A and B are shown apart, each in its own frame.
Chain A
Amino acid sequence: MVFEKDLNLDATELRLGLPGSSEESLRISNKRALPDMNDDSGVAAAKKCDQETAPPTKAQVVGWPPIRSYRKNSLQTKKTEAETSGMYVKVSMDGAPYLRKIDLKVYKGYPELFKALEDMFKFKVGKYSEREGYNGSEFVPTYEDKDGDWMLAGDVPWEMFINACKRLRIVRGSEARGLGCVV
């Protein structure tokens, strides 16, 4: 459901990376990253299509979920307070059934960021080399940049990274091979 939101511009978009890879595999791994969400709606999707004429982007249904206004307001004020002052991005990991939100401004560079991600998701980033990407680890940090491309995290200077990064995804090493990197 989430990826339905992404417009598929494969046909016309320039891609930096080896042909015949990256976008497809990442799309597939997107699906696997949130198996519960997608499997749930798999059966229901057919049903939903009959009912829904609304576009795939989620339109809020009035009074659903059933939460009282004072609760909603209390949560919302927290969100806006938090988000105006920091650079919050969502972080997900293949196989983990939940997301985290982190404030990129809090970290001074890649080492701190990766340490935080390792603590959060209990994995190891591995050694990085420009040529081979990440070695010696099962999981690899990637990020979606402002153009919607998925890139390997760690290539570009830190400042450039935090300004470009829209969200982070920790993918399985095998999926990340041939991922777009800045040349």
Chain B
Amino acid sequence: MPKRLASSLSDEVLEHVFSFIQSEKDRNVVSAVCKSWYEIERWCRRKIFVGNCYAVSPEMVIRRFPQVRSIELKGKPHFADFNLVPDGWGGYVLPWITEMAGAYPWLDEIRLKRMVVTDESLELIAKSFKDFKVLVLASCEGFSTDGLAAIAASCKNLRELDLRESEVDDSSVHWLSHFPETYTSMVSLNISCLGSGEVSFSALERLVSRCPNLRSLKLNRAVPLDKTANILRLAPQLVEFSACTYSAELRSDVFSNLAGAFSNCKELRSLSGFWDVVPDYLPAIYSVCSRLTSLNLSYATILSPDLIKLVSHCPSLQRLLVLDYIEDSGLEALASNCKDLQELRVFPSDPFDAEPNASLTEQGLVAVSLGCPKLQSVLYFCRRMSNAALVTIAQNRPNLNRFRLCIIEPNTADYLTGEPFDVGFGAIVEHCKDLIRLSLSGLLTDCVFEYIGKYAKKLEMLSVAFAGDSDLGLHHVLSGCESLRKLEIRDCPFGDKALLTNAAKLETMQSLWMSSCSVSFEACKLLSQKMPRLNVEVIDERGPPDSRPENCTVDKLYIYRSVAGPRFDMPPFVWTKDEDLALRLSP
């Protein structure tokens, strides 16, 4: 009797204690302590993150976690961003929404990335979840403004609608007008991906003026300058704003209106947008620059002198996204002005030109690594690099945790020595002990992978292209990188041996992508047979891999662990070992 009392008391106490544990990882650890903790924890888990929507089925999630309020799902592999995953591959959210509609009436947050979302799914969300609050569709596709209209009309308590980088079809519905006049709860609205036909200014202004809690507003490209000023005046409490400016000549009345509007925004910390910006209008934002922590100028064709002026007004900057127009001189100015900088992303203004469009070299990155002690995250596109520069960067910034370098021309060697970049990237992984994400580029041999396998013990995600000499390279990574979750490879001479030798490793990882490598269909079938909890998908639009000669390599390969077994929504160009291959071949 006392035992039962004690255990029922501790259930409630435990549940209360668990409510303070928010992180997914910690929750998973807690649930593994013992059976009773597993039981208690599963009933009080409110937030679920599924990194690969095919790793588990919605039924399994619902069975284990009956009272979820918030779910995050990711669909297609990362290389889908660069058009390497054919249309129709998968990542459909409807089955999830259908199951959750019945099981989780109190679900209030859905966050999706790289998934196919139909209007039907959006309508089902609008209908099924009474207290729906947060919808984030990142890099999604398959829906139109009709679906948005359904959300706007039904979700009375919607706080966040974020369509970042999604593809939305314009159905000519004035969806914004579907928010009822009584709706006032918007906190964060991101519609920067929408085309010009899809937003009505008057509806937008009315919406903004009746939502006093609006903190983040990211408008689309079509909003002209005078409208921008109006909207800012309606929402001076904004913390994040995405501005768009017309490509027009400077008019002093428009300028002073805009400058005035910005100066009212005392809480503004993050600015983005800036499509078609005319540099003469930039001083309109100077009044907020000193407080800015995040600036995204990666759509703006502002040249280095104007960028230097702008950056010198922003001493609190923590995050900067910019085009290579900033040049080495601009990055040097950044390094001396912005000592709090944590994240830098430099994109190429003319990626397909063989010759450089702007004077941006490895020097700019070296300057920032020297001058910005808090720099942690780097994404850098450039056309030349040296091992010496990489070593300098590694030694100066051992606190880097994300380093993604793209030397635009494949197989480019060190411009000073003609050597591959093995030593340079080796230095990065050796010195930056907390590195969790790395993207390689340039001329690289198997040596670099030996360094990575030896030193990159915390690395979770690795991207490789046009690198390596043999299977040994892949083997080093799979056998050495203990924390590896995601590995994506393209155009490398890696094949069957490394894959089959390290089959067991693949089950400890979330996924492996290999395209234009040297893996045979035989090896894929063998791997699939050996490892029943791996889904081995051969993506090949050329036809059945079986019908080609034995030594022909597969086009694309996507391997991921799953407790849900093979999926049922595979398109004709995805081939697995399964018996239904025979069914597929018959018309």
- Knowing A66-B406, A70-B193, say if A34 contacts B355 (CB, 8 Å): yes
Report the separation of the CA atoms of residues A35 and B414 in the bound assembly, to the nearest whole angstrom.
12
Q: A13-21, A90-98, A104-112, A156-164: which one contacts chain B? A: A90-98
Closest to B406 in A: A65
Taking a contact as CB atoms under 8 Å apart, the answer to whether B275 and A74 are in contact is yes
**A92 lies within 8 A of B418 (CB):** no
Nearest Cβ on chain B to A56's Cβ, whole angstroms: 11
Binary CB contact string for chain B from 379 to 422 against chain A (1 if under 8 A, 0 otherwise): 00101100000000000000000000010111111110011000
Known: A43-B443, A99-B356. A64 touches B465 (CB 8 A): yes
Interface size of A by CB at 8 A reads 39
Asked if A48 contacts B411 (CB within 8 A), the reply is yes
User: Which chain A residue shows the least CB distance to B351?
Assistant: A65
Query: How far, in angstroms, from A66 to B513 measured CA to CA in the complex?
Result: 15
B490 at the interface (CB under 8 A from A): yes
Interface residues in B190-224 (C-beta closer than 8 Å to A)? 193
CB contact list, B280-301 vs A, under 8 A: 298-299, 301
| Binary contact readout B47-64 vs A (1 if CB under 8 angstroms, 0 otherwise) | 000000000000000000
> Which residues of chain A have C-beta atoms less than 8 A from B491's C-beta?
61
Contact A62 B443, CB 8 Å, known A67-B351, A75-B350, A92-B355: no
Q: Does A129 contact B (CB under 8 A)?
A: no
Contact A60 B352 (CB under 8 A): yes
Shortest Cβ gap from A6 to chain B (Å)? 13
A96 and B81 CA atoms in complex are apart in Å by: 34
1/0 per residue, CB under 8 A from B, across A58-85: the answer is 1011111111111110110011000000
A68-B359 in contact (CB<8A): no
The CA-CA distance from A58 to B352 in the complex, in Å, is 9
The one of B83, B351, B409, B410 in contact with A62, judged by C-beta atoms closer than 8 angstroms, is B83
B358, CB-defined interface residue at 8 Å: yes
- B347 within 8 A of partner (CB): yes
B340 at the interface (CB under 8 A from A): no
The size class of the interface chain B forms with chain A is 35 or more
Minimum Cβ distance to chain A for residue B501 (Å): 25
Q: Is the interface of B mostly helix, strand, loop or mixed?
A: loop
B412 in contact with A66 (CB, 8 Å): no
Complex contact A1–B384 (CB within 8 A): no
Q: Would A63 and B409 count as touching, CB distance under 8 A?
A: no
Output the least CB separation between A63 and chain B (Å).
3
Nearest Cβ distance between residue B315 and chain A, in whole angstroms?
28
| CA distance in complex: A44, B465 (Å) | 15
> Which residue of chain A has its CB nearest to the CB of B408?
A65
Instruction: State how many angstroms separate the Cβ of B425 from the closest Cβ of chain A.
Output: 16
Q: Does B246 contact A (CB under 8 A)?
A: no
Judge if A40 is at the interface, Cβ distance under 8 Å.
yes
B355: contacting residue among A37, A60, A71, CB under 8 A: A37
Interface centre among A1, A36, A58, A96 (most CB of B within 10 A): A36
> In the complex, are the beta carbons of A65 and B348 less than 8 A apart?
yes
Which A-B residue pairs are the 6 nearest by beta carbons? A63-B82, A98-B359, A44-B411, A43-B418, A40-B412, A43-B413
- Could you give 6 example pairs across A and B, Cβ below 8 Å? A36-B383, A37-B383, A40-B409, A66-B406, A70-B165, A99-B356
Q: Residues on B close to A: CB < 8 A? A: 79, 81-84, 165, 193, 275-276, 298-299, 301, 347-352, 354-361, 381, 383-384, 406, 408-415, 418-419, 439, 443, 463, 465, 490-491
Which residues of A are in contact with B by a Cβ distance under 8 Å? 1-2, 34-37, 39-44, 47-48, 58, 60-72, 74-75, 78-79, 90, 92, 96-99, 101
